[in-house]
A and B are shown apart, each in its own frame.
Chain A
Amino acid sequence: MTRAVTPGAEGAKHQRDLASRAAGHTLDDARFRALADAYGGEIGHWPQDLRPAAEAFAQTSAGKAVLEEAAQIDSLLDRFTVASPSASLQMQILKSGARRGAWHRALRRVLIGAGLLGVGLAGGLAGAAAVMIAVPAPALIAEDGVTAFGGLSPDVASSEEKPGLMPAGEGRQ
């Protein structure tokens, strides 16, 4: 003879099964309550790895009561809405970004210009140095006594032509 299972008894067994399934995923009553206290009454907002166990525990009457309590606080929090940013705020922020972008571009142009100028100067200096090394500078005094301004030897011929410069007595006989 099979014993009749009353709906109430079956319900209680079902509740126990659900609770034990959740417990199998290391989620007991205390942990379930702690999670609801922290994350609220919506299991979709709970840590992902705990959701399957939480869903199972949520089917129990204890689970339902805990979630209901947490949902009341959620509904209070939901009342604090924030209006969308105004168009003027968005505009101000974009203007500051555009200024920053323009400044950045100008700075980049200056740096590129300075870089090119630097490369040019460096090239000029390097060229000058190479010329100095490869081609010796013209000597101011040549070996034969000739300078860039003329010979260094006494200009005897010209002094002879000038009577006042002749040695004393040489013109007298």
Chain B
Amino acid sequence: MDDPDAALMQAVAAGEPAAMQMLVARKLPRLLALAVRMLGDRVEAEDVAQETFLRIWRHAGSFRGERARLDTWAHRIALNLCYDRLRRRREQPMAEPPDAIDPALRPDEALSEACSARRVERALQALAPRQREAIVLVYYQDMTNRQAAELMDVSVDALESLLSRGRRALAAILKGDDQ
């Protein structure tokens, strides 16, 4: 397996600051975007991104490129951290229901571009987490169907089913907003 990041990881394992900088520049935007879209919360997503990098630093020396690509490995770490947080949210009783449950607009929100982005964000958060994960990996993270299916530990057929159900549900939620 040819991993374009393998040499970079060796340099990171040797503690080279320039390699760390390059790895952050290369991976942080993708990992942060993944966490933001999975959690719908920027602050939590930044924590997940930081924790993901801590684990990358910690395990850089033992990283073996032939088992998994760095990108897939880092995505797996970030997704696990996201699911930990989603689980904690479910377990912790909240004084107020989270925003993400209701994708509809608040009356004070104007119909601007930013506002419609917020609608989509809320609709995405209203999906089942596995459907959201499939859409995030394939549509936003631009992974191939095989990479995403492997990461999610499902068959390609199951991935396609999650994707199409997720997209249909998203369209239905947003259509419901308009009515």
Chain A positions within 8 Å of B, measured between CB atoms, are 34-35, 37-40, 45, 47-48, 70, 72-74, 76-77, 79-82, 84-85, 89-90, 92-94, 96-98, 100-102, 104-105
A73 and B170 form a contact (CB under 8 A): yes
Q: What separation, in Å, do the CA atoms of A80 and B116 have in the docked complex?
A: 8
Instruction: Take A37-B164, A96-B54 as given contacts and tell me if A82 and B33 are in contact as well, using a CB distance cutoff of 8 Å.
Output: yes
A77 and B135 form a contact (CB under 8 A): yes
B32 and A85 form a contact (CB under 8 A): yes
**Residues in A neighbouring B32, C-beta threshold 8 A:** 82, 85, 89
B57 and A100 form a contact (CB under 8 A): yes
Q: What separation, in Å, do the CA atoms of A32 and B120 have in the docked complex?
A: 26
B28 and A89 form a contact (CB under 8 A): yes
A47 and B117 form a contact (CB under 8 A): no
**Interface flag for B10 (CB, 8 Å):** no
Task: List 4 tightest A-B contacts by C-beta distance, closest first.
Answer: A101-B15, A37-B164, A38-B163, A100-B57
**Residues in B neighbouring A81, C-beta threshold 8 A:** 117
**Residues of chain B from 1 to 51 with CB closer than 8 A to chain A in the complex:** 12, 15-17, 20-21, 24-25, 28-29, 32-33, 36-37, 46, 49-50
Total interface residues on B, CB under 8 Å, equals: 47
Q: What separation, in Å, do the CA atoms of A70 and B166 have in the docked complex?
A: 13
A93 and B53 form a contact (CB under 8 A): yes
**Residues in B neighbouring A48, C-beta threshold 8 A:** 144
Q: How far does the Cβ of A108 sit from chain B's closest Cβ, in whole Å?
A: 9
Instruction: Take A38-B163, A80-B124, A85-B29 as given contacts and tell me if A93 and B116 are in contact as well, using a CB distance cutoff of 8 Å.
Output: no
**Residues in A neighbouring B174, C-beta threshold 8 A:** 76
Q: What separation, in Å, do the CA atoms of A92 and B12 have in the docked complex?
A: 16
Instruction: Take A38-B167, A76-B174, A77-B135 as given contacts and tell me if A97 and B20 are in contact as well, using a CB distance cutoff of 8 Å.
Output: yes
Q: How far does the Cβ of A156 sit from chain B's closest Cβ, in whole Å?
A: 80
**Residues in B neighbouring A34, C-beta threshold 8 A:** 160, 164
**Interface flag for B91 (CB, 8 Å):** no
A92 and B120 form a contact (CB under 8 A): no
**Residues in B neighbouring A76, C-beta threshold 8 A:** 120, 123, 170-171, 174
A39 and B117 form a contact (CB under 8 A): no
Instruction: Take A73-B170, A101-B20 as given contacts and tell me if A93 and B120 are in contact as well, using a CB distance cutoff of 8 Å.
Output: no
A100 and B46 form a contact (CB under 8 A): no
**Residues of chain B from 145 to 162 with CB closer than 8 A to chain A in the complex:** 145, 159-161
**Residues in A neighbouring B21, C-beta threshold 8 A:** 94
